[in-house]
Amino acid sequence: MNEFERSRVREARILKIEQETPTVKTFELGVSLDAVPGQFVMVWLPRVAEKPFTLIKTGNTIAIAVKKRGGFTEKLFQLNEGSYLGIRGPYGKGFSWGGVKKVCVVAGGIGIAALVRLAEELAKSKVSVDFIAGFRTKSEVLFKERIENVANLHIITEDGSFGTKGICSDVLMDFLKKNEYDKLYCCGPELMMVKVLKLCKKFNLKAEFAVERYMKCAVGLCGQCCLDEWLVCRDGPVFSSEQLLKSKEFGKFYYTKSGKKVAIQ
Amino acid sequence: MNEFERSRVREARILKIEQETPTVKTFELGVSLDAVPGQFVMVWLPRVAEKPFTLIKTGNTIAIAVKKRGGFTEKLFQLNEGSYLGIRGPYGKGFSWGGVKKVCVVAGGIGIAALVRLAEELAKSKVSVDFIAGFRTKSEVLFKERIENVANLHIITEDGSFGTKGICSDVLMDFLKKNEYDKLYCCGPELMMVKVLKLCKKFNLKAEFAVERYMKCAVGLCGQCCLDEWLVCRDGPVFSSEQLLKSKEFGKFYYTKSGKKVAIQ
Amino acid sequence: MQHLKEATPCFLNLFIFIFGWVFLPSLETELCNVSLKNPLILASGVLGLSKNNLLRAQRGGAGAVTIKSVSLEERSGHETPNIAFFEAGMLNAFGYCNPGIEEALKEFSDLSCFEVPVIASCTASNASDFAKLVEALDKLDFAAIELPLSCPHTPGYGLLAGQGTPEATKEIVEACRKKTKKPLLVKINASLPRIGEIALAAEKAGANAITCSNTLGPGMVIDINSTKPVLAFKVGGVSGPAIRPIVVRSVYDLYKRIKIPIIGLGGVLRGEHVIELLMAGASCVGIGTAIALRGHNVFEKCCDEMLAWMKKHGYKSIGELIGLAHE
Amino acid sequence: MQHLKEATPCFLNLFIFIFGWVFLPSLETELCNVSLKNPLILASGVLGLSKNNLLRAQRGGAGAVTIKSVSLEERSGHETPNIAFFEAGMLNAFGYCNPGIEEALKEFSDLSCFEVPVIASCTASNASDFAKLVEALDKLDFAAIELPLSCPHTPGYGLLAGQGTPEATKEIVEACRKKTKKPLLVKINASLPRIGEIALAAEKAGANAITCSNTLGPGMVIDINSTKPVLAFKVGGVSGPAIRPIVVRSVYDLYKRIKIPIIGLGGVLRGEHVIELLMAGASCVGIGTAIALRGHNVFEKCCDEMLAWMKKHGYKSIGELIGLAHE
Ligand SMILES: Cc1cc2nc3c(=O)[nH]c(=O)nc-3n(C[C@H](O)[C@H](O)[C@H](O)COP(=O)(O)OP(=O)(O)OC[C@H]3O[C@@H](n4cnc5c(N)ncnc54)[C@H](O)[C@@H]3O)c2cc1C
Ligand SMILES: Cc1cc2nc3c(=O)[nH]c(=O)nc-3n(C[C@H](O)[C@H](O)[C@H](O)COP(=O)(O)OP(=O)(O)OC[C@H]3O[C@@H](n4cnc5c(N)ncnc54)[C@H](O)[C@@H]3O)c2cc1C
Ligand SMILES: Cc1cc2nc3c(=O)[nH]c(=O)nc-3n(C[C@H](O)[C@H](O)[C@H](O)COP(=O)(O)O)c2cc1C
Ligand SMILES: Cc1cc2nc3c(=O)[nH]c(=O)nc-3n(C[C@H](O)[C@H](O)[C@H](O)COP(=O)(O)O)c2cc1C
Ligand code: FES
Ligand code: FES
């Protein structure tokens, strides 16, 4: 099967919808697919648009976790079970965990979607996982049970309504001081990832980050998702700390839908 | 690899040319190909034409035996070693010899080209082969040594200049009376094959015949090579006696280059 | 009790009947008042030289078959190679080889062996020759007559005779219309930018359906090892998967512009591709090149694939699918 | 003796030099007096949004790179899906998304990081806007400027603005010619029947090369499960292997009609395809879609394949291959 065949749209009707938090729903889709944790699919809602989402479940059926943000995700939230979605993929490079024994995972908000399967796979490989998950507030806490099953979960909320009060990067400092990790994995808002990257550098810890950029083609053609010379859809979304430390754009610039370079605030 | 890929022209330069008889040359071509005895390739001489020829050798290099007849074969005869030919194929259905112990092979003229590899394969399968080969005259005798190595060869010439004087079908009658065969294989001028078919019917002997028709596409599209509802390029060139006994066109009609149905004389 | 016992199987039959009606899709359809057991038509020029050729396609499951385009005089066509392959399809340049109308009239004089409609096809260099051919073919039992005004690789015919314009289309179709009451199908070429106008001209001039499309291009395949174009005629019409998206778009566009039915043709390999063309707006779908890949029973295979898909998605008839992508 | 000892390595060097010259093929070539290390050019619109994008293609081995076509104003283009796949290639309808000329002038103001020529590309709805863009781009260090008069899927631009005619081509090229001394490349669409006339019009109006071709069609892919066209814009330009034979034929035809060089572009996946287009008459060859299949170093891979083939067949330079299929 060549890349053309692989990228044809596949029917993926919604089997089950769960409202996980006030702003996040998970959608189980009726299509079978294998993927490495960190890989994503393009999800198409006919007559609306097509956008990238990480897989939080693979196998005979797949699932995605969606945070309501703008036009597309709002339309997704209006769908019922049985609705039609099309998917293509999986795309991108996922996380790698060869030779690690003890790791730290840091998730910010919906970024946890990219990390939940990773934690499960790590546990299967008998890796000990400290999982720091930061949310805005108690009601936004996501995947608590799923992660508690496979990792030492430390929940943080900005308003202190659940778990430790604070932001991930602060708490992470403590963890890094007290533990010896082989590797760190992180996904969340880019400015948070920048802070985590700095800590990793300070503690000389190897890390992998799942990065988001505006995507259109997902096959490395349109150039929309570029991060320095890399294309996030193809060379990422998972990048190593070595790569990101060399980056001139990580945490600083991204390209809008027109391809305009703008600063990240 | 789909049929499109399989049917792309492949470079097959002439490695060796041998003048076998005054009217027949064999060409060894530098291309590697596997095929069942009876299958053929389309041979392309750029700026001249493309025509079907049976493979008399397969493996790392292939070979064809060509009888000079008209424009195309004359041009082939003018070529030197190193000249460019293109081939596509192999095409068609070859001979089958499951479960046979003792067989009779009947070749008329250049028809022997379709049968020489068959005889060799039969010998490898420890089948006992009586090979009746008819030619016009002594100088036209072809593949004598090759066939003597693997079969009991009985050469017949129309003018009696070598072997038995006569035509294949007469001699075949004797062989059929004296031997018990499991199967008969035949290729030669169509009217000779008609006679052989009748004998097979009379002796209740199963047989396979390699039939020629004007060919253009070799992939079952143009309809040019039809024999009743069959297409010789795809359903043949090897047909069973059962099939041919049902045929209304075998020995009677063929279609010219324009598709005009004409009688075989 | 006696009463009930007898009634039971009757109820059961009725139930099975209703069940079948409700759940089993049907591929039956019609084109210009000719009913077809399925919407798949053998494309002109593929097989179709002889009745036997066509019978083979009928046996392979075709809903209708088309003869190879016939001209007034016998033509032996271009020299071989007549076809060239590339990874996404093929090129052909047969150059309208055919035995001429006289032979064709003999070959197709008795069509009683066919259970499916047989469509004639004829080609000429000008309107009056077209009219002569249609007049001759009209006498036989063909269900319809197709006029390919769109061959991209035969000097003096089709696009190489300037037939791919609304003006030429009008002239030819009008001349033919006078000679027959049979449905006239006009075959156009999706390579052209003005297909909408051409199809409208055909419709106005009395055509009963549009066949879209002939082979595209033309294209060329060069064998780099010999440095020569493979085809003896150098260029040839492109068919097979390579052209399907352009054909789908053309059918979609035509469906919005004309009222007469469309036969979608080009690059269909599977039942799903047939459905794609139906949804674009085709009433029937032609198959040619796919025979080289999937054999002469490609029609049967496509029907099976269509039925499986229709069952899964709850469609019961071809009519429900036609033009669905426009909704 | 001493004398000889010293001389030996010198002889050896000379021998190696001569050996290399005699047996090792070179891919070096030139286009409009710009020298290229190989004839492979990154197609416009593929990557090309940013300098970083282009650097990636340079690193992948491209002999030259082209920026994504830029327009006067910022355009966010069509909604996603912007691309749709079928087994023989893909369709795209990005709708000329680009940040606009002002941003582009900033982004490409300093091209000193490039070792290979960078070609600009700009698109507009009319000749005077084209002229404005060319005037602006002329100030930067681009090696040439390409005018795509041939996009099949953006209302107000290319074919959908009627730019695919000899008349429009003449007007636009003449207006641009006045604004720059840089080589002007005119990108045409092999879907059109009159490409010969269009290319001649471009040549007469002062174009320095013809790029053939933009994406063909447009085409459409319908997702039968949702009954909807996949692309948000419904139709899109076809690229990839599906279009190669039509592009080869177009380049072959143009080579006979025009004197300025041709950049062959469409469906190239491998070095052998590059050679096919060179033999048809192209001086350079563009690569776009292949990146999705073979990665960003597809240029390097194609070069390796070309060198291997040229070595085997005894060709020593690109110049020997250009137009060879015409002999
Ligand atoms: C590799 C990858 C994986 C992702 N996985 C998830 C996930 O698992 N769950 C989840 O909720 N979100 C995920 N996202 C983000 C998700 O694609 C966007 O949130 C979504 O597209 C927002 O669309 P919208 O129309 O609702 O919002 P908009 O109002 O259009 O945009 C809101 C934000 O989303 C971003 N966005 C919009 N469109 C795109 C696009 N085509 N590509 C990338 N970013 C876009 C914009 O930058 C903007 O900041 C992922 C993004 C990427 C690149
Ligand atoms: C399956 C098959 C296998 C063949 N194998 C051999 C072989 O091993 N050795 C050999 O010498 N010949 C073989 N032939 C016949 C060979 O293809 C023709 O002899 C050759 O094409 C004659 O071409 P010409 O131009 O020299 O002669 P022409 O003067 O053109 O024709 C001479 C005769 O060859 C036949 N012929 C011509 N062109 C074709 C064509 N395209 N397809 C079929 N028949 C044609 C004609 O019917 C005519 O009777 C085979 C034919 C077929 C169908
Ligand atoms: C071998 C071959 C011969 C053809 N000959 C004719 C012809 O005689 N008349 C005609 O109208 N179309 C002819 N065509 C065009 C087909 O009818 C059809 O329009 C085209 O091949 C596209 O369909 P496909 O992709 O299913 O093959 C021919 C096509 C092929 C492949
Ligand atoms: C994703 C994509 C975007 C494109 N954008 C442009 C563009 O902005 N300007 C342009 O002139 N051509 C554009 N094209 C056309 C390509 O430059 C090229 O002509 C076409 O894709 C054929 O080459 P290929 O088969 O190698 O891709 C685009 C093509 C693709 C696939
Ligand atoms: S989304 Fe197009 S290159 Fe990454
Ligand atoms: S040669 Fe064309 S069908 Fe057999």
Task: Decide if B71 touches C, using CB distance below 8 A.
Answer: no
- Provide the pLDDT for residue D12: 62
Tell me what pLDDT residue A170 has. 85
Is residue C24 predicted with pLDDT exceeding 90? no
Q: What is the mean pLDDT of each run of 10 residues along chain A (265 residues)?
A: 86 96 97 97 97 97 96 96 96 95 96 96 95 95 95 94 90 92 96 96 96 96 95 96 96 94 91
Question: For residues A240 and A238, what is the distance between their CA atoms, to the nearest angstrom?
Answer: 7
Pick from C298, A241, A221: nearest CA to D296: A221
B259 lines ligand 6 (CB under 6 A): no
Residue C271 in contact with residue C264, Cβ under 8 Å? no
Q: Phi/psi at D265 (nearest 5 deg)?
A: -150, 125
Give the burial class of C198: count Cβ atoms within 10 A of its Cβ; 0-12 exposed, 13-18 middle, 19 or more buried: buried
Whole-angstrom distance, CA of residue B12 vs CA of residue A17 = 61
- How confident is the model at residue B192, as a pLDDT? 95
Mean pLDDT on C5-11: 52
Give the three-class secondary structure for C57.
Answer: helix
Helix or strand (DSSP H, E) at D282: none
CA of C151 to the centre of ligand 3 (A): 9
| Domain spans of chain A, in order of start | 3-91, 102-212+233-240
Determine the pLDDT at residue D168: 93
| Subunit contact D252:C220, Cβ cutoff 8 A | yes
Question: Which residue, among D188, D220, D315, would best test binding to C if mutated, counting the most C CBs under 10 Å from its CB?
Answer: D220
Supply the pLDDT for residue D7.
46
CA–CA gap between residue D44 and residue D63 (Å, rounded): 14
Interface of C with D in 244-263 (CB under 8 A): 244-246, 248-249, 252
Q: Is the pLDDT of residue C14 over 80?
A: no
- Whether C303 is a known active-site residue: answer no
Q: Phi first, then psi: what are they for A150, rounded to 5°?
A: -125, -5
Cis amide prior to A237 (ω within 30 degrees):
yes
Give Cβ neighbours of residue A255 (< 8 Å, ≥ 6 apart). A213, A214, A224, A225, A226, A261, A262, D49, D50
Pocket of ligand 4 (CB under 6 A): A 221-222; D 43-46, 68-69, 92, 94, 96, 121, 148, 187, 214-215, 239-240, 265-268, 287-290
What pTM does this model have?
Answer: 0.95
Ligand positioned closest to the Cα atom of A72: 1
* 8 Å CB contact of D222 and C325: yes
Q: Is domain B102-212+233-240 annotated with CATH 1.10.3720.10?
A: no
For chain D, list residues with pLDDT below 50: 1-7
Q: Which CATH homologous superfamily contains domain D33-81+96-219+241-326?
A: Aldolase class I (3.20.20.70)
Coil, strand or helix at C238: strand
How does pLDDT run across C218-256, given as a tens digit for each residue? 999 999 999 999 999 999 999 999 999 999 999 999 999
pLDDT recorded at residue C2: 43
Task: Report whether B196 contacts B186 (CB < 8 A).
Answer: yes
The b/e string for A37-52 (b: 16+ C-beta within 10 A; e otherwise) is bbbbbbbbbbebbbbb
Cα C290 from chain centre: 13
CA of A209 to the centre of ligand 5 (A): 18
> What is the CATH architecture of B3-91?
Beta Barrel (2.40)
* In contact, D96 and D154? CB cutoff 8 Å: yes
Q: Which residue has the tokens 């993929």?
A: A89
Which residue has tokens 């590309």? Answer: D121
Determine, for residues D248 and C221 on separate chains, whether the beta-carbon distance falls below 8 Å: yes
- B193: closest CA among B178, B210, B180, B205? B210
Q: Specify burial of residue B2 (Cβ count, 10 A radius: 0-12, 13-18, 19+).
A: middle
Instruction: Tell how far the Cα of A214 is from the centroid of ligand 5, in angstroms.
Output: 8
Name the nearest CA neighbour of C89 among C190, C271, C218, C281: C218
Average pLDDT for chain C: 93
How many residues comprise chain A? 265
B221 and C49 within 8 Å at the Cβ level: the answer is no
Given a cut of 70, whether residue C186 has pLDDT beyond it is yes
CA atoms of D173 and B182, how far apart (whole Å):
79
Atom in ligand 5 nearest the alpha carbon of residue A231: 4
How sure is the predictor about C11, in pLDDT bands with cuts at 50, 70 and 90? low
- Residue A125 · residue A101 · CB < 8 Å: no
Catalytic-role residue among C151, C176, C302, C303 = C151
Please report which ligand is nearest the Cα atom of C94. 3
Whole-angstrom distance, CA of residue C192 vs CA of residue C198 = 9
Residues of chain B with pLDDT under 70: 1
Q: Which of D122, D151, D176, D303 is catalytic?
A: D151
Q: Do C90 and B7 touch (CB under 8 A)?
A: yes
ipTM > 0.90 (yes/no): yes
Which positions in chain C touch B231 (Cβ < 8 Å)?
Answer: 56
Report the gap between the CA of B86 and the closest CA in chain C (Å).
8
| CB of B12 closer than 6 angstroms to any ligand 6 atom | no
Q: Given this chain, do its domains B3-91 and B102-212+233-240 carry the same CATH topology?
A: no
Q: Does B218 contact ligand 6 (Cβ within 6 A)?
A: yes
Mean pLDDT of C273-289: 98
Cα dist from B140 to A2, B105, B110, B160, C45, whole Å: 52, 18, 9, 12, 41
Q: Ligand 1 centroid to A223 CA: how many Å? A: 17
Asked if C157 and C94 touch (Cβ cutoff 8 Å), the reply is no
Residues 6+ apart with CB under 8 A from A137: A157, A158, A159, A161, A162
